[in-house]
Structure 1
Amino acid sequence: MEQSTLARRGLGLRGVDVDKVSPGYTLFAHLTSPGTVKLVDNQGKEVHRWDLPYRPGRHAQILKNGNLAYNGVHPDAPRLFPLWQKYRGGVMMEVDPSGAVVREHRDPYAHHDQHHLDNGELLYTTVEGLGTESGATVLGGIPGSEAPDGKVYADCIKHVSQSGDVLWSWKASDHLDRDRFALQPHYPREHWPLINSVYPLQDGNILASLRSVSAVVIISRETGKIIWHLDSTVVAQQHCASELDNGDILIFDNGTFRHHESATYSRVIQVARQDKSIQWEYRDPHPMTFFTPFMGGAQRLLNGNTLITEAAFGRIFEVTEQGAIVWEYINPDFADYSGLDAREIEGYFGYPANALFRAYKYSPEQIPWLHPN
């Protein structure tokens, strides 16, 4: 009998409503692959793939010029602490449909979200090691759980030009209030505040998701100050904060250690920037059957549907505005971290996984090279 619960429940395409699903192709990178990115159609058929030289440093996207933006794991980055091996990146590549590298930027301290802008510039997250005195000012977390070198690593955000010149930068250590943004008590003190997504807003400011303090914030590009803050009374270890066309914020809310609720479930919420009210929400009708404790993604599609990544279980699905599931696909590929130069986490995640960080969907018009005729 099949011993993998995920495989036993079924892999690949699980269902499609051809009348309500958005037309297009879904892109994802299997995290425990050597560097595989796939594009599948609404029937679950693979229509294109890239086999790249570095394992995924989280996710991939298709740019407006049709090229693939891929974030790979830097082969020579420092080994800061065990879980750093899980979510670090560092090789920010733009490749054409054949896999040929168009441009590349490297930063061995980059992690989680490396956002390729349409003009070839990059907005991404990185870390710096704090000195003993500065690290001690970071509050919360598990006592004595600093990195093996005794440091707390604090997040930074960088915006660099095509040639790698720093155009703008921001440091959590300079701008985050220690009381207001204390680590939650179950988190190690090795990494604060763990920014897992960064997004350029239409007004020029920066949207960021801070996982280990359960906060989504807007950073003033001019001053570096926090000018908007959605706190842990609303979100719980959330991911993938992005801006919609009307200015609302779309968030994948994981739900781990959510306030005032003992049952864990994930949801996707659309939050009005003006008053922080929830304008739209998706949760499964049986809430606890949709849950990923870490990672996760949400993308609003052109027809108003929302693509959701239930990341730890390799599940991608699309829902209508009314919450009806109209497409579901489970990544059929499983592998563990052995052979991927990630020995620190082979014990943490010592099982074959089909996990994805985040998936994206594109209309046929956004990938003109796929069907040139």
Structure 2
Amino acid sequence: MGCVGSSNAFATNGYFMHGYGIKAQGQAGVSIAQPQDALAAANNPAGMAWIGNRFDVGATLFNPDREAEIEGNPVPGANGHYHGNNRKYFLLPEFGFSKQLSDRLGVGIAVYGNGGMNTDYKKNPYGAYGSTGSTGVDLAQVFVTPSVAYKFTNRQSFGIGLNLVGQRFAAKGLGGFAPFSSDSGSFNDRNHDVSFGVGVRLGWQGQVTDKLTLGVTWASKAKMSKLDRYAGLFANGGSFDVPENYGAGLAYRITPAFTLSADVQQIKYGHVRSVGNAFDIQSLFAGNTFGSKNGQGFGWRDVTVYKVGASYAVNSRLTLRGGFSHVDQPVRKDQTFLNILAPGVVQDHLSLGLTWSPRPSNELSLAYTHALEDSVKGHNSIPQAFGGGEANVRMNQDMVSAAYAWKF
């Protein structure tokens, strides 16, 4: 798994990718009712009954811009602007294989990244509080999803996929927070640690009319083994599970060449303790230290993602795509101080894409996504124990993706 998931920047919808498969990315991630390639199982495994025999391989290049500001803090050296872009570019590969075993039964496997998070501040925003050296975090998650889908009528299918997950994490430059940890020796500067887990994804797809297709999908929380090297950082002794998520979508074929589609997705960040628990000084002094069962976290909320997309087949060789998506803000205004490490604050994304088929058995797909700049200005965000004042975080992002497919 490690060869697929290189260190990743924030992948637009918190630390989830905005879409899996380059075709889906070209229309802002819309995919639940519109399977288009062998990465379909990552979006809705029911789609694997409809896409035929193919092999897709692709990659996405990320260029994020992460920035933070501390203001109104009396601690000498704390106030200022901080740039978390010591590393600027990130490559995220993916591939998928699908095979029709019969007219009704399809199987496949998809390998892809769930995005991730990465910050690297050469100038340490927490340096005034006793932290030394550069600071940042590095999280990468890789999914391997074998799946099977069955058409139980001529217009409906059900699919199931097994999410086999591997993740890698490292944190550095956080020594100023170590006194507030249940295990200060497993808190910071421990290089990378890895953990593994498993979950399940279910899906249904149905062609309601000749023009309208609907889909629904659900993925369980993936219970991960603990990151032991960071047992003093993450709540419950290094636990960092993949949150439950689910969604519904539709695709409406206005003409044989033109399709409008939309998805709604819910991601339950707030139900993972290490992500959803707030950084709260009263809770901290009450015994909920970093690493404890109900320890400190990033205070992220559950989010809903709204996506709309369109695809137009210009001719038998060329298809054009576009889309827009919006996600709720996961980062609360009173939680920006610790989220200098995790400024996943972008909300709006514009995408363009195309597929060119030089011959019936091959496809080249391209996509570009721009995550519009967004920021969260802190409000009561820095505890008085750290001097008070506010922490503000900002991000924008560009992504360029390409994939090639062989159909057989």
Which category of TM-score, normalised to the shorter sequence, fits these structures? 0.3 to 0.5
Specify which structure has the bigger relative contact order, considering alpha-carbon pairs within 8 angstroms and separated by 6 or more residues: 2
Q: Which has the higher strand share?
A: 2
TM-score, normalised to structure 1's length?
0.32
TM-score, normalisation: structure 2: 0.30
Q: Which has the higher helix share?
A: 2
